[in-house]
């Protein structure tokens, strides 16, 4: 990043966000309004801004990953709820249609197939 490549508006905005800087810049400062920055601040910006951009990109990636995991979890919960509802329906339907279905454990395949055939699933 050479001096010509530096966007002084970006430098100004970035420096204003750096509240820990020893030089108390404000937007009212005449030098600030003319965008006359010390060469040391330009060097500091060139050294630190890429690190900050990298941290922001990493945080955005972590946030996207958390969002993806949350969406997958919601989908898994939805599928499990649907499965539970289906098993409950089969257990209620089975005895009404001449099948023995226990209250717990696996449901026999022939009962599941008969249920699906009867319900058109």
At 23-37, the pLDDT tens digits run 666 667 776 666 666
* Tally of CA atoms within 13 A in the half-sphere of 59 that contains its CB: 6
Structure tokens given for 19: 């509240």
Using CA atoms, how far apart are residues 77 and 63, in angstroms rounded to an integer? 21
Where in the sequence is the domain holding 53, given as residue range(s)?
3-119
Query: Cα-flanking dihedrals φ and ψ of residue 53, to 5°?
Result: -65, -40
In the predicted model, is pLDDT for residue 1 greater than 60?
no
- Higher-pLDDT residue of 3 and 17 is 17
Asked if 36 and 45 touch (Cβ cutoff 8 Å), the reply is: no
| Model pLDDT for residues 33-89, shown as the tens digit of each residue | 666 667 777 888 888 889 999 999 999 999 999 999 999 999 999 999 999 999 999
Q: Mean per-residue pLDDT for 91-98?
A: 92
The number of distinct structural domains making up the chain is 1
Query: Cα-flanking dihedrals φ and ψ of residue 88, to 5°?
Result: -65, -45
Using CA atoms, how far apart are residues 33 and 9, in angstroms rounded to an integer? 10
Structure tokens given for 10: 């970006």
Using CA atoms, how far apart are residues 7 and 29, in angstroms rounded to an integer? 19
Using CA atoms, how far apart are residues 47 and 32, in angstroms rounded to an integer? 20
Count of residues in the chain? 121
């Amino acid at each position: 990043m050479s001096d010509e490549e530096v966007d002084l508006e970006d430098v100004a905005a970035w420096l204003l966000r750096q509240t820990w800087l020893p030089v108390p810049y404000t937007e009212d400062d005449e030098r600030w309004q003319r965008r006359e920055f010390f060469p040391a601040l330009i060097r500091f910006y060139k050294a630190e801004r890429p690190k900050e951009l990298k941290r922001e990109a990493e945080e955005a990636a972590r946030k996207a990953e958390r969002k993806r995991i949350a969406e997958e979890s919601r989908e898994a919960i939805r599928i499990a709820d649907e499965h539970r509802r289906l098993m409950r329906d089969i257990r209620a339907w089975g005895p009404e249609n001449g099948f023995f279905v226990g209250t717990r454990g696996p449901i026999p395949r022939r009962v599941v197939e008969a249920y699906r055939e009867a319900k058109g699933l």
